[in-house]
């Protein structure tokens, strides 16, 4: 059976640490009075638990930063919600019902709460510390920073208990299905951040329930709460506190006309003239009317010029000998239909190097022997377009054939992260597009700070190198919604070890096929 390597690209939580009164346990010392919220939540085993020093390992209290804000009337009534970042680098939160007094606390208040004698129980789906009086709460500071915790909706749905009662950012989220122009926030509306759908819940009594002009694409800050069914299953929902928790990113779709769906960077045997890149069109394109170009970057130590890419994707134009940093293919003839795969690469047109299955009947928009010919405009002839290990490699597709230091791609992927790729001081680097992996602005910054390059800001995602000379095709399966101009499910790398007789269906279809472990199998990218 063919070997298959999986590498999911998941947006990790981006957490900004906050300082609090530091109390530590250490051998021979006094036990801290404050139990971390992480440990507190782990005490709950499905039944009510009366808290005391014995079952709290000698502690009697918790402390944390307030994240609840009742001014918008969209949170569960009477809940004081706090979170903490002090155990294993993880953010954990807890809710405490204290009635009307909860509205007296503001986000950023630092509090200490004596919980001895209170009861840990799950009410209305939410784990809560009940029986806490207002007098047991001490405010010790105000205006403390709250971590901007970016979490993929799929991670929240996989681990609803972990993210419950925490402040998270659902990033680059659109309504799915798209809402009518007359829609308001009130009720339950699915939003999609490129990883899954999660419910954005707005109470009918919220101050903004009847507000319209919902954003096409936005960041939704808010608190995660859970609902619980009769079988005990938790289902998360996301609640913004006020409209200040919504940061608009775009008002109209930004549709990529072409998306990257896979690549063969290292065939079995010699690579020269056999590497190729796979794309899918999201609309009909006549390349003689609307030309495009594909640029590959190879940053291995032997490529030139050395140092940071002074002309970005066009840096290969400065190469004088040997292997150049970048190599270009112009796409100026042929047509492709919406949803159709097409290929760019070597003239060999074989699925896995010399002597393997021919792909000549596939849609090749540009193919030539790059071991004998220079690139279209820049890039010196080479025995290998891609690096096979070490420093980063990658490729991008551009609208048009004139590429310079300021040209943005319409889609781009990188493999690895090593080498001289980005210089923050001079602003030299490889430009990115707004994709499932990259953002041209820091979506969590207050002023949407520009991050136009790979490795700038949070643009650090990349695919992995596979074992060399094995003939792995890297299938990048995801779901792209043309109407919304976004990835509804981010691409993930499925590296399939091809043979010399592999069929085209292995790189274009559902392969490996459905199984008990994975009923959907492993499809290539789907256009929705």
pLDDT confidence band for 12 (50 / 70 / 90): very low
As a whole number, mean pLDDT of residues 198-216 equals: 96
What are 460-513's pLDDT values in tens digits? 999 999 999 999 999 999 999 999 899 999 999 999 999 999 999 999 999 999
pLDDT in tens, 243-262: 999 999 988 888 999 999 99
The pLDDT score that the predictor gives to residue 318 is 95
Residue 29: per-residue pLDDT:
53
Return all residues near 116 (Cβ < 8 A) that are at least 6 apart. Answer: 51, 52, 53, 56, 60, 61
Q: Tell me if residue 485 falls in helix, strand or coil.
A: coil
Q: Among residues of the chain, what percentage have pLDDT more than 90?
A: 88
* pLDDT higher than 80, residue 16: no
**Residue 85 — very low, low, confident or very high, per pLDDT cuts 50/70/90?**
confident
Region 216-237 average pLDDT: 96
Residue 88 per-residue DSSP state: T
For residue 349, report the phi and psi dihedrals to the nearest 5 degrees.
50, 45
Helix H, strand E, coil C: the string for 269-289 is CCCCCCCEEEEEECCCEECCC
pLDDT at 367 > cutoff 90: yes
What is the DSSP secondary structure assignment for residue 40, as one 8-state letter? H
**Per residue in 176-200, pLDDT tens?**
998 998 999 999 999 999 999 999 9
User: Is it the case that residue 5 has pLDDT exceeding 70?
Assistant: no
Please give the share of the chain, as a percent, with pLDDT higher than 70. Answer: 94
Provide mean pLDDT across the span 2-12. Answer: 54
pLDDT digits (tens, 9 = 90+) for 457-472: 999 999 999 999 999 9
Per-residue model confidence (pLDDT) at position 23: 39
pTM: 0.88
Residue 517 pLDDT class (50, 70, 90 cuts): confident
The reported pLDDT for the residue numbered 190 is 97
Tokens for 436? 């499932």
User: Does residue 25 register a pLDDT over 80?
Assistant: no
Higher pLDDT, 74 or 86: 74
Question: Is the per-residue pLDDT at 15 higher than 80?
Answer: no
More confident residue, 446 or 1: 446
Whether 20 shows a pLDDT value over 60: the answer reads no
pLDDT of residue 6: 63
- Print the SS3 string covering 63-76: EEEECCCHHHCCCC
* Dihedral pair phi/psi, residue 100, rounded to 5°: -60, -25
Q: What is the mean pLDDT of residues 286-299?
A: 97
Mean local confidence (pLDDT), 207-214: 96
What kind and span of H or E run contains 156?
helix 153-158
Residue 22's nearest CA partner among 41, 6, 36 is 36
Q: What is the overall mean pLDDT for the chain?
A: 93
- Could you give all domains of the chain from N- to C-terminal order, each with its CATH number? 1-9+253-528 (2.60.40.1260), 31-141 (2.40.50.140), 149-250 (2.40.50.140)
pLDDT reading at 24 higher than 80: no
Exposure pattern of 327-337 as b/e (b: 16+ CB <10 Å)? Answer: bbbbbbeeebe
CA dist 291 and 499 (Å) reads 34
pLDDT in tens, 103-159: 999 999 999 999 999 999 999 999 999 999 999 999 999 999 999 999 999 999 999
pLDDT, position 22: 38
pLDDT at 251: 80
Which residues are CB-neighbours of 173 under 8 A, at least 6 positions away? 153, 191, 192, 193, 200, 217, 218, 219, 220
pLDDT of 21 > 60? The answer is no
Token pair of 32 as six digits: 């801290």
| Least confident span in 86-100, 129-143, 186-200, 328-342 | 86-100
């Amino acid at each position: 059976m063919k070997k298959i390597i999986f590498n999911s690209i998941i947006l990790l939580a981006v957490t900004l640490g906050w300082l609090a009164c530091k109390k530590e346990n250490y051998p021979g010392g006094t036990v801290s009075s404050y139990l971390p919220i992480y440990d507190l939540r782990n005490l709950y085993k499905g039944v009510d638990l009366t808290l005391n020093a014995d079952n709290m390992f000698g502690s009697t209290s918790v402390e944390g930063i307030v994240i609840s804000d009742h001014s918008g009337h969209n949170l569960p009534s009477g809940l004081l919600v706090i979170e903490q970042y002090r155990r294993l680098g993880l953010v954990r939160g807890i809710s405490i019902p204290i009635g009307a007094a909860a509205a007296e606390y503001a986000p950023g208040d630092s509090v200490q709460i004596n919980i001895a004698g209170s009861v840990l129980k799950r009410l209305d789906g939410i784990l809560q510390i009940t029986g806490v009086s207002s007098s047991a709460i001490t405010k010790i500071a105000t205006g403390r920073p709250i971590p901007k915790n970016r979490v993929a909706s799929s991670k929240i749905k996989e681990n609803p208990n972990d993210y419950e009662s925490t402040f998270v950012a659902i990033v680059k989220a659109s309504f799915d299905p798209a809402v009518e122009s007359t829609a308001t926030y009130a009720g339950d509306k699915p939003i999609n951040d490129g990883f899954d759908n999660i419910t954005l819940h707005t109470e009918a009594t919220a101050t903004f329930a009847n507000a319209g002009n919902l954003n096409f694409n936005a960041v939704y800050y808010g608190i995660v709460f859970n609902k619980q069914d009769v079988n005990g299953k938790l289902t998360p929902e996301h609640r913004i506190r006020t409209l200040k928790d919504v940061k608009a990113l775009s008002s109209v779709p930004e549709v990529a006309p072409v998306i990257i769906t896979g690549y063969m960077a290292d065939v079995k045997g010699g690579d020269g003239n056999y590497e190729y890149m796979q794309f899918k069109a999201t609309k009909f394109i006549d390349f003689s009317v609307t030309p495009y170009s594909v640029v590959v970057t190879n940053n291995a130590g032997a490529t030139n010029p050395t140092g940071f890419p002074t002309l970005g994707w066009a840096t290969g134009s400065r190469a004088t000998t040997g292997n150049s940093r970048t190599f270009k293919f112009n796409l100026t003839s042929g047509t492709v239909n919406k949803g159709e795969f097409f290929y760019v690469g070597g003239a060999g047109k074989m699925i896995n190097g010399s002597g393997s299955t021919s792909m000549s009947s596939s849609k090749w928009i540009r193919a030539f022997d790059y071991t004998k010919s220079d690139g279209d405009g820049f890039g010196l002839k080479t025995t290998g377009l891609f690096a096979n290990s070490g420093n980063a490699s990658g490729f991008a597709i551009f609208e048009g054939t004139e590429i310079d230091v300021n040209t943005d791609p319409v889609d781009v992927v990188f493999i690895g992260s090593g080498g001289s790729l980005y210089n923050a001081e001079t602003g030299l680097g490889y430009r990115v597009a707004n994709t499932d992996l990259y953002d041209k602005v820091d979506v969590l910054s207050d002023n949407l700070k520009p991050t136009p390059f790979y490795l700038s800001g949070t643009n650090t995602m990349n695919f992995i190198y596979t074992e060399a000379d094995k003939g792995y095709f890297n299938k990048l399966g995801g779901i792209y919604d043309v109407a919304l101009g976004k990835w509804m499910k981010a691409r993930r790398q499925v590296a399939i070890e091809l043979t010399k007789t592999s069929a085209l269906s292995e790189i274009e279809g559902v392969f490996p096929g459905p199984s008990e472990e994975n009923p959907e199998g492993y499809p290539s990218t789907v256009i929705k």
